Structure 1
């Protein structure tokens, strides 16, 4: 699962359980909220900007295998969290949670690698929309594995997302071969669509595992994730014969930017969730899809098809519906706003 979603879910879970799992990055800076009440949403949007730029870099580095790019990004995840876990004196590999930590790391690693393959084999916006639909499928897997209720709104969101994914991938069996005309001939649209969708499934299951691990400090989870993921991607790269260093010059600078942008996106998202509730932040994070369409046109000169745009609208609507419902459920029962969002809060 992408790290920005993991941090969002961890903060949401820690707030609900009362556990102080995320350090307060805004201590003694509360006056900022009075001067700019929308600062949390602004930071969430900036976080989307950095994560979308990570996708652009992955798509641009055609000479570096996605497994290698995933490994460099995991290095960017591991290095900043090691000082945190040392400073907080947390047990790095706590007994009783080790199997779950390893399983969660494996699931998250596979999900991220598949999303990178999707970026390579599909238009950027199409792949981003499918990968971004992870929150919609969480309710489904939470129902299966954690026996959590899956209400009518979650069902509607899942159906909207599946219809949107079909429109984005527009399989020839339903739409004919001419729909994909105008796309890059180097794309393997079917392979990319399968990678993106399976990445979403792995990402949703990673969230379910995070719910089980919600009592652990975030640095313990991220340290294990980074370390195991680096070993996992290194093993995969060696097994498939794609282990190599990026070329000197632009490629190495872009790899550094990939790790840096990923880290900045995580920090900005964490700060935004300390200022604002998870629901509005999830809606602001939908800007990731808008940025993806913008970068696709600007950097890759690819105009999205009518089907892709309509499918993206459906997926974006389902993600926003999930965010609104999460926001409504977090409001006090006597809140007037909750009354206005009453049907979503049921």
Structure 2
């Protein structure tokens, strides 16, 4: 940031520092939920639970930021929660089940891991909303730096309070894996912030659904495990709901843009007709030039023909 001459590299821009602090703290709990759940859940199960994030983000964006929220998103969120239940397989619903590949611990520990993962979903939601609230008032690197700083602070405090021992790397493999987490995590947070600055929180967060493809592939070819049938069903439900919301929302957005464009053209037409009768030659020339940029080639020829006829 110093090299790029970004102002306030450490403290952040005035007026949004508290939002950046919220982004850092909530982002920590979002990452912590994923890391903790990976202890007892398979990779695909832990990742797919985070897919509740777009739904909770859309609801929070509606309540906090006043962004649009449709009924289909609410229904999709409820169905996605059912998918999470299929992944968690709580004993009071499914009974005592055998441990499957990629999972560790008892059913109770797995249920706790799911609860912590859901806490991570809320943390990620807070991070998404705070980034969206900041918008372009801060550089994306400000968001990433605040996330890193507060993650370190909260981690140190948590380790002191819970008396968690410090683990030092003992092999080059350990160092390489930790470095990879930091390297790829940096670009993940950077591109996530850039996306949230350019799109609504609910729709921008839909990009995380791509993770399931890599998670399932890694679980199969690296860890040599296959998710149980209930987890696969939960994954299908969550991805189907997310895809439905993404496609329908994209279609609605295109319709709104077309309607808005038609309204703008109608207004320009009224102004052109009024200018032809009452306005000056300079005003008419300006309106014709602006319409040339908005209308197709054939329509522009009609405008030119009409203008010459009026002259």
**Would you say same fold, with TM above 0.5?**
yes
1:96 is aligned to 2:19: no
Alignment partners' CA distance in 2, 1:327 and 1:160: 20
TM-score by length of 2: 0.70
Alignment partners' CA distance in 2, 1:198 and 1:291: 23
Match of 1:242 in 2: 165
Alignment partners' CA distance in 1, 2:123 and 2:200: 25
Out of 115, 118, 121, which is 1:197 matched to?
118
C-alpha deviation, 1:199, in angstroms: 0.6
Alignment partners' CA distance in 1, 2:175 and 2:112: 27
C-alpha deviation, 1:138, in angstroms: 1.0
Alignment partners' CA distance in 2, 1:222 and 1:142: 21
SS in 1 for 2:169: coil
Alignment partners' CA distance in 2, 1:310 and 1:134: 19
Alignment partners' CA distance in 2, 1:251 and 1:200: 27
Contact 1:108/1:206, CA 8 A, preserved across alignment: yes
C-alpha deviation, 1:150, in angstroms: 3.0
Contact 2:60/2:129, CA 8 A, preserved across alignment: yes
Alignment partners' CA distance in 2, 1:270 and 1:94: 16
Match of 1:302 in 2: 225
1:224-283 alpha-carbon deviations (Å, 9 max, x no partner): 222222222222233333323221321111111212222354567789999x99999866
C-alpha deviation, 1:147, in angstroms: 4.5
1:62-111 alpha-carbon deviations (Å, 9 max, x no partner): xxxxxxxxxxxxxxxxxxxx446x52234633333222222221111111
Segments of 4+ in structure 1 off by > 4 A? Answer: 179-183, 264-274, 276-285
C-alpha deviation, 1:285, in angstroms: 4.9
Match of 2:131 in 1: 210
C-alpha deviation, 1:222, in angstroms: 2.0
Map 1:58-73 → 2, pairs under 5 A: none
Alignment partners' CA distance in 2, 1:277 and 1:105: 20
Compared CA separation, residues 270 and 232, structure 1 to 2 (3 A): closer
SS in 2 for 1:244: coil
Match of 2:40 in 1: 121
C-alpha deviation, 1:318, in angstroms: 2.2
Out of 145, 152, 158, which is 1:230 matched to?
152
User: Alignment RMSD, CA only?
Assistant: 3.3
Contact 1:279/1:326, CA 8 A, preserved across alignment: no
Map 1:145-184 → 2, pairs under 5 A: 145-178=64-97, 180=99, 184=103
SS in 2 for 1:211: helix
Q: Which runs of 5+ in 1 are unaligned?
A: 1-81, 337-346
Could you say which structure has the higher helix fraction?
2
C-alpha deviation, 1:297, in angstroms: 2.3
1:87 is aligned to 2:5: yes
Q: Which has the larger radius of gyration?
A: 2
Alignment partners' CA distance in 2, 1:200 and 1:305: 23
SS in 2 for 1:304: coil
TM-score by length of 1: 0.63
Relative contact order: is structure 1 or structure 2 higher (C-alpha 8 Å, sep ≥ 6)? 1
Compared CA separation, residues 264 and 107, structure 1 to 2 (3 A): closer
1:143 is aligned to 2:51: no
Tell me which moved more, 101-110 or 179-188: 179-188
Contact 1:136/1:318, CA 8 A, preserved across alignment: no
1:176-218 alpha-carbon deviations (Å, 9 max, x no partner): 1126555644363112111111111121122222222113222
Contact 2:47/2:215, CA 8 A, preserved across alignment: yes
C-alpha deviation, 1:299, in angstroms: 2.5
Out of 51, 67, 70, which is 1:132 matched to?
51
Alignment partners' CA distance in 2, 1:218 and 1:264: 11
